[in-house]
Chains A and B, each alone.
Chain A
Amino acid sequence: MDFTGAYSWVNIRFLLDGLLVTLEIAAISIILSFIIGAILGLVRYMKVPVLSFLAGAIVDIIRNLPLLLIIFFTYFALPQIGIRLSIFWSAVAAMTIFESAMLSEIIRGGLNSIPVGQMEAGRSTGLTYAQTIWYIIIPQALRAMVPPIVSQFVALVKDTSLATIITLPELTHNARIVYGQDTNFVIPMFIAMGFLYWVVCYTLSKLSKRLETSNA
């Protein structure tokens, strides 16, 4: 084991470059998948004819596929039908597709957990369906949804490491390159990787705790 050699300035820089890519891909995927997941979840909750069924079918298919398969799909299969994405955007696309499906289920479940009487009360006072959802259903559902949504975000951050398989230069990928040079770097690199993932994910879940309490 060679900690001083492993933690040289060059190697640390290289790892942090990887972390930056991890954070970028996670941030972009979180934003995109939250928007798409919210739309899918709402559509399913609102039971729009045809559309809700379609959304449900797509979500059910995606949720039951391994994320790795979706990453391979966006990287290897999409170019076959003329959609050519860079490694980075293939990974973003795959993460977004997968996480949107997961988030849509959380959002739909959260909306469904609000008793039907709330909708009836809103509608009976003359509020429109959209107003009732916006002012009455969503604010209540949000409280129930924050913890599972944040866990899903944490899972997303961790799952970005799978993109190492299509050579995306993110944290895991870069750490592997470092310890590939010298077997004495293996343990130090795993410790560094573990620490960096832990810091990011732990911060994220702490943030959620604060969000919960400020919401209550």
Chain B
Amino acid sequence: MIEFKDVNKYYGDFHALKNINLTFTKGEVTVVIGPSGSGKSTMLRCINGLEEINEGQLLVSGVDLHAKDTNINNIRKHVGMVFQHFNLYPHMTVLENVTLAPIKVLKQDPKEAQKTAEKLLDKVNMLDKKDSYPTQLSGGQKQRIAIARGLAMNPEVLLFDEPTSALDPETIDDVLDVMKKLAKEGMTMIVVTHEMGFAREVGDRVIFMADGEVIEDKNAQEFYENPEDPRAKQFLGKIIHHV
């Protein structure tokens, strides 16, 4: 459902993505890892058009993102995103955060949107905070609401950009538990993360990126047991050391 064909991206002189060829299929949980500056977040952000590609083709649900007549908003309806820093709307309640897009973009009836939102907030164990404002919540709580906000659009795929990197250690598990639940329900997920435990438990596939290139792309188990590239080995060594 998502396909990168010879995608290149530059920031001025900096070659951020080098000849990326990737295919993501429905129901798959893909974990993207790699050192910082490797292009993994950039790659992820291209999928919903937050970054524009310079060369190649990027197909999302059969639509070429790079084509001039593509309305990016139509793609974004089907691609949810969860950010490292949550980016909740601080002037809105938790419930309003979740219902804004369904009401304004999908033109859902506000009552109906609210019902759906309550169901989703229950799913991420945040229903009791539906009338709170984001500033009153912890990082882990905010991130679970951000996940509910992404789910509210009923997307075909959910993108996670280092969802636990800005969290206090004790709140990480609450977020990971929700993500694992989604993965087990068959949600298509592309997750940029350093959480190896998560990757191992629910990841179907691991993509290792370095210097703007895809270095390894294989079954998760296989990747951990048998990383080929020296950079992957080195990276894994460091990460596992930390855990």
Residues of A within 8 A of B (CB): 115, 117-118, 120-128, 131, 135-136, 139-140, 143
Whether A127 touches B100, Cβ cut-off 8 Å, given contacts A118-B87, A120-B87, is yes
Tell me if B50 counts as interface (CB < 8 A to partner A): yes
Which single member of A115, A118, A127 contacts B105 (CB below 8 Å)? A127
In the assembled complex, how far is the CB of residue B29 from the closest CB belonging to chain A, in whole angstroms?
A: 20
Tell me if B77 counts as interface (CB < 8 A to partner A): yes
In the assembled complex, how far is the CB of residue A47 from the closest CB belonging to chain B, in whole angstroms?
A: 15
A127 and B85 contacting across the interface, CB-CB below 8 Å: no
Contacts A121-B87, A126-B73, A126-B106 known; list 17 others, CB within 8 Å: A115-B87, A117-B85, A120-B81, A121-B83, A121-B89, A123-B76, A124-B50, A124-B76, A124-B81, A125-B80, A126-B74, A126-B105, A127-B100, A131-B104, A135-B100, A136-B89, A143-B91
Q: Can you list the 10 inter-chain pairs with the closest CB atoms, starting with the nearest?
A: A125-B101, A121-B87, A117-B87, A124-B81, A126-B105, A126-B77, A126-B76, A139-B91, A126-B73, A140-B91
Tell me if B56 counts as interface (CB < 8 A to partner A): no
Q: How many A-B residue pairs have CB under 8 A?
A: 60
- CA–CA, A140 to B92, complex, Å? 10
A121: chain B residues at CB < 8 Å are 81, 83, 87-89, 146
Main secondary structure of the interface of A (DSSP, over half): helix
Residues of B within 8 A of A (CB): 48, 50, 73-74, 76-77, 79-81, 83, 85, 87-91, 100-101, 104-106, 146, 149-150, 153
- CA–CA, A140 to B149, complex, Å? 19
In the assembled complex, how far is the CB of residue B84 from the closest CB belonging to chain A, in whole angstroms?
A: 9
In the assembled complex, how far is the CB of residue A38 from the closest CB belonging to chain B, in whole angstroms?
A: 19
- B84 (CB) vs chain A CBs: closest residue: A117
Which single member of B48, B74, B90, B106 contacts A124 (CB below 8 Å)? B48
A123 and B101 contacting across the interface, CB-CB below 8 Å: no
- A139 (CB) vs chain B CBs: closest residue: B91
B87 and A125 contacting across the interface, CB-CB below 8 Å: no
In the assembled complex, how far is the CB of residue A107 from the closest CB belonging to chain B, in whole angstroms?
A: 17
B88: chain A residues at CB < 8 Å are 121
A123 and B83 contacting across the interface, CB-CB below 8 Å: no
A123 and B91 contacting across the interface, CB-CB below 8 Å: no
In the assembled complex, how far is the CB of residue A59 from the closest CB belonging to chain B, in whole angstroms?
A: 27
B149: chain A residues at CB < 8 Å are 125
- A143 (CB) vs chain B CBs: closest residue: B91
- A140 (CB) vs chain B CBs: closest residue: B91
- CA–CA, A147 to B46, complex, Å? 39
In the assembled complex, how far is the CB of residue B120 from the closest CB belonging to chain A, in whole angstroms?
A: 13
Whether A126 touches B50, Cβ cut-off 8 Å, given contacts A118-B87, A140-B91, is no
Whether A120 touches B100, Cβ cut-off 8 Å, given contacts A125-B153, A126-B77, is no
- Cross-chain pairs A/B with CB under 8 angstroms, 20 sampled: A115-B87, A118-B87, A121-B83, A121-B87, A121-B89, A121-B146, A122-B89, A123-B50, A124-B79, A124-B81, A124-B83, A125-B101, A125-B105, A126-B77, A126-B105, A126-B106, A126-B153, A127-B73, A131-B105, A136-B89
